[in-house]
Structure 1
Amino acid sequence: MRILEPLSNDEFLPENLKDLYSKFLQELIDELSPRQEQLQITYSKAKKNLNDTDGIFYYPGDLKKVKGIGATIISRLEAKIQEYCNERGIRPPEPKAARDVPTGTKRSRTALRTDSNKEQISQTTDTQPPKKQRKKVYIPKKRSGGYAILLGLLELRAVKRGYSKEEVITSAQKYTDHSMEGNFATKEFYGSWSSINSLKKHNLIVEVGRPKRYSLTEEGVTLAETLKTADGIVFQREREKEGSRDNSMRDIETTANLSELLEKEKLSPSFRQGKPNSSFIDYTFESTGTPIGTNRALTPNRNPTVPSGKSPSSVPSKNTFRKRFNGVSYELWVKGSYEVYPIIDHREVKSQNDREFFSNAFARKGMKNEIRQLALGDILWVAKNKRTGCQCVLNTIVERKRLDDLASSIRDNRFMEQKNRLEKSGCSNKYYLIEETMGGSIGTMGEALKTALWLILVYYKFSMIRTMNSDETVERIYALNEVIEHHYSKKSLLVLYPNNMENQDDYKKVLETFKSEFERKGNIECCHSFECFQEMMGKSEMRTIGELTINVLMFIKGVSLEKAIAIQSIFPTLNHILNAYQRCKSPHEANMLMFSKLGEAPGTKRITKGLSEKIADVFSTL
């Protein structure tokens, strides 16, 4: 039988405080304001569950077994019982940790507070030390994502040198039963690659650089070798006597500029001269509405000739070794060693009920394509190395807009933000494809649309394709793809693999540095890897403080990108803006601050008195 706590004035607490705790919960409910509806629901559920649960509840910690009562509610009930006991001069229930009851055993939770029981527990504690809780060792399940990544990195010998996500996935895919990457065409939005987070958490792999590179830690190597031995896995290089020679040679990167590259690779410097930075649209369409379908000179040879007696697959492929220039690794893909096709963003749909319209339409025309999530743009052309499977980004990107979508993007400043990122992509051929169909009304945005189209063509020097509907869009993209395939059938690609970029500006600078060196002679085009493009060109990836300041300013209605850039040129960070408003001696001075700075600015940079007051309303109250 439970011994009751002795109290002053000969009072005792009841053996079961269940009703008292229920009363305290009702008090907590009554203390809530009408706006705290969610807390009221939580406390009410806790009270109901407590009343429905059988058992003795003496210590506040005993309430843990009641569904809906967690640490927060227990702490508040503990404060209530403490206050209740203090008012009556009663000794409150002692916390379990302060009593002589051993923790970690089921018996300790229900042990009766008797003198004999205390004596038995004390003797048991003296003779039997408490068990130490063993730390669970993380071992990934066989054929899971983590299992595959560890073995893939071990096969790549990724200890001193890190490898990209694409390289790791290529090596690891054969060791798992699931796709490493999500497949948006089959509605598989998540892949086994997400297991990389568990491996990082348990210090089995290291992630460094931008774009990210992955390598094994000592613990990771040990675990990967254990898994390999346990499952009897034999790597390809272990089957071939000279298999390790190729891998070791890949780790050797020699420095080579253009002249050295031409000499080593025996490339001819002669090439077909074309207009510098000319748009493919000049060759694709005779007019704004007619694709060229009969010009055979522009039709790529889909069946390249091979030596007689040999199939295309039997033609020996040249090994691709990495070199360095200006501290950046690169590979040369000679013409014919890669295939060209577009990647369509998985959000690019004709309608909610026809999400794969474009992919299926291109496939019916015999045009290879992929559906993936793109960091930038709606359609992006890539090249895929036939031997390694690696992908790189070519110089053509398309942003597709319906008229109503374009109007919406102008209203919320997405139009300028997308334009800004498209310029940072480094792509020479940037297209706005405008479909004149509408899923909604454009309201009073007619003049704004005309201005936006004028800016695209004249001011920003983007190319534009206008179509009547999605079917015509398919025809235009197909014609553009024909020209792109023909263009790259005569090109060798120089693929960059930088590993220490800080922001999107660095992405473009590195590309321009290589273009100025390697595109001077020779039929070579420089481009980033697709993985680098995906990681660096995302909306929120690698933003500088200045870019964040511009984005915050653009949330204020009426502040366009040009106005935000003009403000940021005067006040580099949000802290500068806040300090400027704090120094204002009167509300009128604060309201006129931006007008005094940019009231006489030219064109779209000018800030009116009304807009200046709006900006002051946001910042002067912070």
Structure 2
Amino acid sequence: MPAPPQVRLGRKRALPPCPNPLFLQWLTELRDQAAERGQKTQYVYQKAISSLKKYPLPLQNAREAKILQNFGDGICRILDERLQRHYKENGPDANIHTLPDGGKLPLPARHSNDNNSLAPTKRPSGKERGGGKEKGVARGRKREYVPQKRSGGYAVLLALYRESQIPGGKGFMFKLQLQTEAQHLCDKSFFVPDVGSKYTAWSSVSTLIQKDLVLKTHNPARYSLTELGLALAERLEDGERPTDRGEQQDRRSEVGEEDDGPGVVDLTADEEGEKIEEACVAPEGVLAGLCPSEKPPAVETNSRSSECSLSPGSYDIVLCVDFIETTGGSTACKQELVKELQRNSVTFDIRKLNVGDFLWVARERVSPVQGQLRPPQGRELVLDYIIERKRMDDLCGSIIDGRFREQKFRLKRCGLQKPIYLVEECGSAAAHLSLPETTLKQAMVNTQVVDGFFVKRVQNVKESVAYLTVMTRYLTRLYQNRTLVCRSRELEGDGRNEECGGGERPNPSCSLMSFIEFNQGAVKNKCQTVGEVFARQLMQISGLSGDKAVAILERYATLHSLRNAYEQCHSETEKEKLLSSIQYGKLKRNLGPALSRTLYQLYCTNGALT
């Protein structure tokens, strides 16, 4: 009796991890393209990719994907367009649940003037490429990311590499310092976006972080190279020496002369980069042609190398109004605000402010450039005055839900020295609030006396606009003969030892932040450090203000360090009194035993609190 044929168990081929690999590959390409351009849509595509990987059934078209999470009309429309193009190139019966040509999409059709070349270009088979083994190796090799020469990523890598090669250097750079040092290595501005775009060369840093080439730590952020980034930057630096660097020095010393060859006029030249260089170099221009690695150590470590100044008469004082103050809610009152500002001839600009409702900037006056449609955007430095506007009902609501303390805490840490609370009375409506009037008055007194804010009380919108008008005219007169200097808050802290309005000298310098740095640093939902999360948690406790939270953080920077301190105590009484002697505020008062006992019970009690 013949032996039965041997039965082969298991699948003949491995199933793909996703039953829709074609859609998955298209979404991956879209995500990578968005990340390369620094666009936030990369996160939308990544969410769609995650949803598609979890879906176990094959899709026949993109419309069926709308049932999945994070698949909107836009993504489905893009996938449908690619699907139609795929059918057109591979036939109406093409299989969309497997990747053609061994895992890679075919090249798009190439057209030429010859009518015989209208067919899509055929990719070589595995044998034509040298056999199936080499084909598998090529498919498994991941393409290395190398930024294009004189792009934002290229300039950032080189600037960080040169900083790391300085003997005794810090090994990291702050944002503004990195932008300034990388600017002359890039053809695009790190500070001002191109016309018609909202992205600068700095947008490429997110790609470098995603590719594990640059490491971002601490707050304020510190940027340094990873091991992969150091190796890549070293190769870029080798390609930069010696010919390319000499060409760059010549280009920096002769800006705009023969950059594109004889007879070529570039109407989209980087005026912003030239403007920043001219404002930031030494007065004699001695350091203008030196690379960072060639500068003396004293110049490299001095933060004044990154200063940019606005001389008297070269800027205007502009009131910035948060767009929330002009849209939504009571439209009539908010439109009245705009009309009153226009009636008073106040120069104002409506924009998004991440903290506060009104502030003032010194905006540089710029002239139109020949050959460009729009004039370049002038630099903006934020004056030290910021206003938070509150109606009485809004003040009442913010006290109840906890926003009042959080807003004061953020205003204190925004870097501006003159915070102002503008409180509008509601007349008879104030008597119908959920908190008594005495409580609201006490909150305003505490804001002025304890927190150090200036509180201005007005009756209505017209009086608010009158106050803004008077403040704008006062600041215009105060700063009209001042030389304003832009310094990074990251490099020098607040750096304001003297008041801008005081001083005996006829023309004192004022050290101010740029508006971009100020607004980015005031983002409410930005990535927070462990210490910042700990501070926000502490401020949720009744009776624990921002000053008290800061005092605790100065002694115990994280919750982990506080728990370790409790564990080192020898008795329950010692644990309860651990924080009682910590001093806070200008008067240096102690936290006291009651609050110390509350914190101990919160963080060291097992089970529910009684």
User: TM-score by structure 1 length?
Assistant: 0.51
Over 3 Å counting, the alpha-carbon distance change for 1:206 and 1:251 in structure 2 is farther
Q: Which residue number corresponds to residue 267 of structure 1?
A: none
Q: Which residue number corresponds to residue 498 of structure 1?
A: 488
Q: Which residue number corresponds to residue 508 of structure 2?
A: 524
Deviation at 1:385, TM superposition (A): 0.9
Q: Which residue number corresponds to residue 369 of structure 1?
A: 348
RMSD: 6.2
Deviation at 1:391, TM superposition (A): 0.5
Over 3 Å counting, the alpha-carbon distance change for 1:148 and 1:235 in structure 2 is farther
Q: Which residue number corresponds to residue 88 of structure 1?
A: none
Between 1 and 2, higher relative CO (CA 8 Å, sep ≥ 6) is seen in 1
Over 3 Å counting, the alpha-carbon distance change for 1:367 and 1:614 in structure 2 is same
Q: Which residue number corresponds to residue 312 of structure 1?
A: none
Over 3 Å counting, the alpha-carbon distance change for 1:324 and 1:473 in structure 2 is farther
Deviation at 1:386, TM superposition (A): 0.5
Alignment of 1:29-108 (within 5 A): 49=57
Q: Which residue number corresponds to residue 161 of structure 1?
A: 181
Q: Which residue number corresponds to residue 338 of structure 1?
A: 315
Q: Which residue number corresponds to residue 507 of structure 1?
A: 493
Q: Judge conservation of contact 1:393–1:533 (CA < 8 Å) in 2.
A: yes
Aligned counterparts of 2:269 and 2:554: Cα–Cα separation in 1: 59
Correspondence for 1:253 among 282, 305, 327: 282
Q: Which residue number corresponds to residue 290 of structure 1?
A: none
Q: Judge conservation of contact 2:152–2:201 (CA < 8 Å) in 1.
A: no
How far does the alpha carbon of each residue in 1:100-133 deviate from its partner, in whole angstroms, 9 at most, with x for none?
Answer: xxx987689xxxxxxxxxxxxx999995434213
Alignment of 1:388-427 (within 5 A): 389-425=378-414, 427=416
Q: Judge conservation of contact 2:425–2:460 (CA < 8 Å) in 1.
A: yes
**Which of structures 1 and 2 has the bigger CA Rg?**
1
Deviation at 1:389, TM superposition (A): 0.7
Q: Which residue number corresponds to residue 419 of structure 2?
A: 430
Q: Which residue number corresponds to residue 198 of structure 2?
A: 180
Q: Which runs of 5+ in 1 are unaligned?
A: 19-41, 54-64, 69-102, 109-121, 182-190, 257-321
The percent of aligned pairs where both chains have the same amino acid is: 23
Q: Judge conservation of contact 2:189–2:270 (CA < 8 Å) in 1.
A: no
Aligned counterparts of 1:430 and 1:519: Cα–Cα separation in 2: 21
Aligned counterparts of 1:16 and 1:341: Cα–Cα separation in 2: 68
Q: Which residue number corresponds to residue 553 of structure 1?
A: 538
Q: Judge conservation of contact 2:318–2:361 (CA < 8 Å) in 1.
A: yes
Deviation at 1:161, TM superposition (A): 2.6
SS in structure 2 at match of 1:393: strand
Aligned counterparts of 1:452 and 1:351: Cα–Cα separation in 2: 27
Aligned counterparts of 1:170 and 1:610: Cα–Cα separation in 2: 46
Deviation at 1:552, TM superposition (A): 2.4
Q: Does structure 1 residue 449 correspond to structure 2 residue 478?
A: no
Q: Judge conservation of contact 2:486–2:513 (CA < 8 Å) in 1.
A: yes
Deviation at 1:520, TM superposition (A): 4.3
Aligned counterparts of 1:150 and 1:349: Cα–Cα separation in 2: 38
Aligned counterparts of 1:603 and 1:498: Cα–Cα separation in 2: 30
Aligned counterparts of 1:324 and 1:254: Cα–Cα separation in 2: 18
Q: Does structure 1 residue 534 correspond to structure 2 residue 563?
A: no
Deviation at 1:347, TM superposition (A): 3.1
Deviation at 1:6, TM superposition (A): 2.5
Aligned counterparts of 2:129 and 2:6: Cα–Cα separation in 1: 24
Aligned counterparts of 1:410 and 1:149: Cα–Cα separation in 2: 45
SS in structure 1 at match of 2:496: helix
Q: Judge conservation of contact 1:536–1:542 (CA < 8 Å) in 2.
A: no
How far does the alpha carbon of each residue in 1:156-200 deviate from its partner, in whole angstroms, 9 at most, with x for none?
Answer: xx99933499x92676514xxx3316xxxxxxxxx9985663476
Deviation at 1:138, TM superposition (A): 7.9
Question: How many residues align structurally?
Answer: 431
Over 3 Å counting, the alpha-carbon distance change for 1:235 and 1:611 in structure 2 is same
Aligned counterparts of 1:409 and 1:172: Cα–Cα separation in 2: 37
Over 3 Å counting, the alpha-carbon distance change for 1:239 and 1:179 in structure 2 is closer
Correspondence for 1:617 among 599, 602, 605: 602
Alignment of 1:185-584 (within 5 A): 197-198=206-207, 218=236, 234-235=265-266, 250=279, 252-253=281-282, 327=304, 329-349=306-326, 351-352=328-329, 354=331, 357=335, 358-359=337-338, 361-387=340-366, 389-425=378-414, 427-437=416-426, 442-444=433-435, 446-489=437-480, 491-498=481-488, 500-501=490-491, 506-508=492-494, 510-512=495-497, 519-526=503-510, 527-539=512-524, 548-565=533-550, 567-568=552-553, 571-583=556-568
How far does the alpha carbon of each residue in 1:402-441 deviate from its partner, in whole angstroms, 9 at most, with x for none?
Answer: 2233234334554344434434556454321002237997
2:325 counterpart letter in structure 1: E
Aligned counterparts of 2:592 and 2:270: Cα–Cα separation in 1: 71
SS in structure 2 at match of 1:347: helix
Q: Judge conservation of contact 1:394–1:427 (CA < 8 Å) in 2.
A: yes
Q: Which residue number corresponds to residue 7 of structure 2?
A: 6
Aligned counterparts of 1:17 and 1:202: Cα–Cα separation in 2: 30
Deviation at 1:611, TM superposition (A): 7.8
Aligned counterparts of 2:454 and 2:362: Cα–Cα separation in 1: 22
SS in structure 2 at match of 1:409: helix
Deviation at 1:577, TM superposition (A): 2.1
2:497 counterpart letter in structure 1: E
How far does the alpha carbon of each residue in 1:449-469 deviate from its partner, in whole angstroms, 9 at most, with x for none?
Answer: 222211233344432222233
Aligned counterparts of 2:592 and 2:329: Cα–Cα separation in 1: 40
Alignment of 1:132-171 (within 5 A): 132-133=138-139, 161-163=181-183, 168=189
Q: Judge conservation of contact 2:318–2:348 (CA < 8 Å) in 1.
A: yes
Over 3 Å counting, the alpha-carbon distance change for 1:194 and 1:609 in structure 2 is same
Over 3 Å counting, the alpha-carbon distance change for 1:498 and 1:620 in structure 2 is same
Q: Which runs of 5+ in 2 are unaligned?
A: 16-50, 69-97, 104-125, 157-177, 225-231, 249-258, 286-298, 367-376
1:576 counterpart letter in structure 2: S
Deviation at 1:380, TM superposition (A): 0.6
Over 3 Å counting, the alpha-carbon distance change for 1:591 and 1:520 in structure 2 is same
Deviation at 1:344, TM superposition (A): 1.4
1:496 counterpart letter in structure 2: C
Q: Judge conservation of contact 1:425–1:507 (CA < 8 Å) in 2.
A: no
SS in structure 2 at match of 1:564: helix
Deviation at 1:574, TM superposition (A): 1.7
SS in structure 2 at match of 1:376: coil
Q: Judge conservation of contact 2:309–2:484 (CA < 8 Å) in 1.
A: yes
Deviation at 1:378, TM superposition (A): 1.2
Aligned counterparts of 1:610 and 1:245: Cα–Cα separation in 2: 56
SS in structure 1 at match of 2:7: coil
Tell which deviates more after alignment, 130-139 or 426-435: 130-139
Aligned counterparts of 2:353 and 2:407: Cα–Cα separation in 1: 13
Aligned counterparts of 1:442 and 1:382: Cα–Cα separation in 2: 36
